[in-house]
Structure 1
């Protein structure tokens, strides 16, 4: 069996700021391993873990979804307000109520799906 050090022919050099090097040193010390081994372990973790996510893009997408959800909620509230203010209900076409109820049911299904997805995302990040 080959020694794992024999295959290490590439030297990587990069810079860290004071806070980053302090974190790396403290983490390495608490784990009882060198800086290099800490970074190698991180690379192995990344290679074997498909759940590592670009959080900045995820947070931007979640923010956009939340904003869209807010707009949808506002539209539903406006529709309900107009329906409540309409004094001649008997003159309304029953098809409007059927269509509204259908769309609201679809919206509630989508809302449940979104909530389940958000819970899965939260669990995977925590």
Structure 2
């Protein structure tokens, strides 16, 4: 029974009657033939596996990702601005002798966590950029 989306695997007795043409440069063709030999699969099987079975894993809408990265960058900038404002205010309080040790002790773990999260985000963005570059 065929599901509504038509994305079921073909059965052994089902014939493939539709053709799909792909244009490649000479370098891409050579790379494709090398992949075919290395994997021991036909070209059609390679395309079916890479495009149909693993499409969600390997295809990324780079325009959307870049928009999201841009908004993340904006938020990081805002966070940095807020930290600078807090530091400026703390310096003013320090000069007036009104800065309490309790405030500093409460702020240090928050800033430490912020730095940890920012580093983790930077690593994730670098990995994402590497993945996107590998796709193009």
TM-score normalised to the size of structure 1? 0.65
1:45 to 2:45 alignment: no
Mapped partners of 1:110, 1:54: distance in 2: 25
- d(CA) in 1 for partners of 2:99, 2:70: 38
Unmatched segments (≥5 aa) in structure 2 = 1-13, 33-42
Kindly tell me the number of residue pairs found equivalent between the two proteins.
Answer: 105
Q: Which residue of 2 aligns with 1:58?
A: 65
Structure 1 distance, partners of 2:19, 2:47, is 17
Whole-angstrom CA distance in 2 between matches of 1:29 and 1:98: 64
Aligned partner (choices 92, 104, 107) of residue 100 of structure 1: 107
CA RMSD after TM alignment: 3.0
Structure having greater relative contact order (Cα 8 Å, sep ≥ 6) = 2
Structure 1 unaligned spans of 5+: 1-5, 13-23
Residue 75 of structure 2 corresponds to which residue in structure 1? 68
Please list, as runs of the form range in 1=range in 2, the aligned pairs for 1:22-37 lying within 5 A after superposition. Answer: 25=23, 27=24, 31=29
TM norm structure 2: 0.61
Partner of 1:8: 16
Aligned counterpart, 1:20: none
